[in-house]
């Protein structure tokens, strides 16, 4: 008989024990770090990964949809990225205070017919003390563009550090 040890399972952390640094209160530097972390996660197009940045009861307004909680957020993101193909996003700080951040963003994508769009928007975020987002309000407009007008050409995934941001691109 071999001496096999039963693997020890780590107890699951309760949401109140999970932190997502940087934590509020935000400084300009930590707000920018939080925004880049969100941009990187969204550019992964991994709904389960993205949803971990939100409280389990997080409330959203995204265009005319109002998902509540991680399960609905995951389903929303799956539908979004099934429609918005080759999605690439850039976010930029607009304003911040103790536990809130205002962001402007633009992303490029195409539909299954090959029509390209640049979607512009603003988000207002509110965080709990552990750095999880509990409120997200997004207003978004879509602009049809020609493929030749695209400005985001990095490989799918994280935007390279050397790639210009929104202001640098004149967006």
Q: How confident is the model at residue 4 (pLDDT cuts 50, 70, 90)?
A: low
- Asked, for residue 121, whether it belongs to a domain, the answer is yes
pTM recorded for the entire structure: 0.90
What is the pLDDT averaged over residues 75-96? 98
CA-based angle 45:139:120, to the nearest 5?
65
List all residues 6 or more positions away from 5 whose beta carbon is below 8 Å from its beta carbon.
Answer: none
Q: How far apart are CA 65 and CA 29, in angstroms?
A: 31
- Asked, for residue 44, whether it belongs to a domain, the answer is yes
For position 16, what pLDDT does the model report? 62
Q: How far apart are CA 141 and CA 120, in angstroms?
A: 5
Q: Residue 105's beta-bridge partner residues?
A: 91, 121
For position 9, what pLDDT does the model report? 55
- Asked, for residue 43, whether it belongs to a domain, the answer is yes
Over the chain, what is the mean pLDDT? Answer: 94
Contact call for residues 100 and 134 (beta carbons, < 8 A)? no
- Asked, for residue 8, whether it belongs to a domain, the answer is no
The domain tally of the chain equals 1
Tell me the helix, strand and coil percentages in the chain, rounded to 5: 25, 35, 40
- Asked, for residue 17, whether it belongs to a domain, the answer is no
For position 17, what pLDDT does the model report? 76
pLDDT at 23 over 60: yes
pLDDT at 106 over 70: yes
- Asked, for residue 132, whether it belongs to a domain, the answer is yes
- Asked, for residue 109, whether it belongs to a domain, the answer is yes
Q: How far apart are CA 102 and CA 125, in angstroms?
A: 6
Do β-strands 54-62 and 133-145 pair in parallel, antiparallel, or remain unpaired? parallel
For position 13, what pLDDT does the model report? 59
CATH number, residue 134: 3.10.450.50
Report the phi/psi class of residue 125: left, alpha or beta, with left for phi > 0 and alpha for psi in -120 to 50: beta
- Asked, for residue 154, whether it belongs to a domain, the answer is no
pLDDT at 82 over 90: yes
For residue 98, what are the domain limits? 22-149
Backbone angles phi, psi at 119, to 5 degrees: -100, 125
pLDDT at 41 over 70: yes
Share of the chain above pLDDT 90, in %: 90
């Amino acid at each position: 008989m071999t001496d096999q040890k039963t693997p020890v399972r780590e107890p699951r952390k309760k949401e109140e024990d999970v932190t997502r640094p940087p934590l509020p209160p935000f400084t300009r530097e930590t707000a920018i770090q939080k925004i880049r972390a969100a941009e990187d996660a969204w550019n992964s197009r991994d709904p389960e990964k993205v949803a971990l940045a939100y409280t389990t009861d997080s409330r959203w307004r995204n265009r005319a949809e109002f998902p509540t909680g991680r399960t609905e957020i995951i389903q929303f993101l799956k539908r979004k990225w099934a429609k918005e193909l080759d999605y690439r996003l850039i976010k930029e700080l607009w304003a911040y205070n103790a536990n809130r951040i205002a962001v402007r963003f633009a992303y490029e994508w195409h539909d299954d017919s090959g029509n390209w769009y640049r979607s512009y928007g603003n988000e207002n975020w509110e965080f709990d003390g552990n750095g999880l987002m509990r409120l997200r309000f997004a207003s978004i407009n879509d602009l049809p563009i020609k493929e030749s007008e695209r400005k985001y050409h990095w490989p799918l995934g994280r935007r390279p550090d050397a790639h210009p941001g929104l202001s640098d691109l004149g967006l």
